[in-house]
């Protein structure tokens, strides 16, 4: 009984901390961003992954790509999604899908997060957030708070249990994730912008794209 209460409090405390941070961030001036549209060529970029390897989106032409934008590695809801993608690694590998996972986190914090992990995705730190700007990733206090009404507490609890060690949050509390499916020609097949924290493209939609 006591353990159940503590687990519930852990999930609630995450949501409370999120709400407090969002109140302060709501005073930040928001600059409108252009969202990426389906059937357009995916905006190109070159960036280093967490290990310093140069990643150029153009190099993946001829392959299908899932480009996914997270918040930061300390976010338990993002951690839950990370593991959902991991569970599909063998299937994605069989279909030659490239997964590029973008985080607001620093490379240092990401390396701590990845200790003991063998990620299928190419893990990319982007604390400067220029890729978030390039792809029109939204910061919205209202949408972030909506996560409370869409299973946010439960997702936070599950994601927190999957951490192997304590990871600090080094991103924005009101960043809303997004996913992009890019075909072999480099054209955006699907542009999915989350409606709240934890709202990502369903796995079955990714599988449909691969088939």
Determine which helix (DSSP H) or strand (DSSP E) holds 19, and give its type and residue range: helix 2-25
Give the pLDDT mean for 66-89: 97
Flag whether pLDDT at 181 surpasses 60: yes
Determine which helix (DSSP H) or strand (DSSP E) holds 159, and give its type and residue range: helix 152-161
Domains in the chain with CATH codes? 2-210 (3.40.30.10)
Structure tokens that stand for 99 in this block: 């997964």
Separation in Å, CA 140 to CA 39, 69, 161, 173: 26, 15, 26, 9
Residue linked to tokens 């357009």: 40
Give the pLDDT mean for 152-160: 95
Q: What percent of the chain has pLDDT over 70?
A: 84
The predicted pLDDT at position 15 comes to 52
Flag whether pLDDT at 21 surpasses 80: no
Determine which helix (DSSP H) or strand (DSSP E) holds 91, and give its type and residue range: helix 89-94
Higher pLDDT, 200 or 150: 200
Flag whether pLDDT at 27 surpasses 80: no
Diameter of the chain measured on Cα atoms? 55
Separation in Å, CA 147 to CA 7, 18, 179: 18, 10, 17
The predicted pLDDT at position 70 comes to 98
Q: For residue 111, give every residue at least 6 positions away whose Cβ sits within 8 Å of its Cβ, in sequence order, or none.
A: 50
The per-residue b/e assignment along 94-133, b for 16 or more CB within 10 angstroms, e otherwise, is: eeebbbbbbbbbbbebbebbbeeeebbbbbbbbbebebbe
pLDDT tens for 28-38 read: 444 446 899 99
Flag whether pLDDT at 203 surpasses 80: yes
Please state the pTM of the whole predicted model. 0.85
Q: Tell me the angle at which helices 152-161 and 76-87 cross, rounded to the nearest 10 degrees.
A: 70
The predicted pLDDT at position 34 comes to 85
The predicted pLDDT at position 114 comes to 97
Rounded distance between C-alpha atoms, residue 127 and residue 131, angstroms:
10
Rounded distance between C-alpha atoms, residue 183 and residue 134, angstroms:
19
Beta strands in 98-194 (DSSP E): 98-103, 122-125, 178-182, 188-193
pLDDT tens for 113-137 read: 999 999 999 999 999 999 999 999 9
Higher pLDDT, 30 or 88: 88
């Amino acid at each position: 009984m006591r353990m159940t209460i503590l687990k519930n409090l852990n999930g609630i405390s995450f949501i409370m901390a999120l709400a407090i941070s969002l109140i302060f961030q709501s005073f930040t001036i928001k600059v409108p961003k252009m969202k990426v549209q389906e059937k357009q060529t995916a905006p190109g970029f070159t960036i280093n992954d967490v290990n310093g390897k140069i990643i150029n989106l153009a190099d993946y032409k001829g392959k299908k790509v899932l480009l996914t934008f997270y918040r930061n590695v300390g976010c338990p809801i993002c951690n839950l999604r990370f593991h959902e993608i991991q569970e599909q690694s063998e299937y994605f590998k069989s279909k030659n899908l490239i997964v590029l996972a973008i985080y607001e986190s620093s490379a240092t914090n990401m390396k701590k997060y990845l200790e003991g992990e063998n990620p299928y995705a190419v893990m990319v730190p982007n604390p400067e957030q220029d890729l978030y700007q390039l792809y029109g990733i939204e910061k919205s206090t209202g949408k972030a708070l909506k996560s409370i009404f869409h299973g946010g507490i439960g997702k936070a609890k599950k994601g927190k249990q999957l951490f192997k060690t304590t990871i600090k949050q080094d991103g924005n509390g009101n960043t809303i994730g997004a996913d992009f499916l890019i075909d072999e020609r480099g054209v955006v097949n699907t542009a999915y912008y989350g409606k709240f924290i934890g709202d990502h493209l369903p796995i079955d939609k990714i599988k449909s794209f691969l088939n």
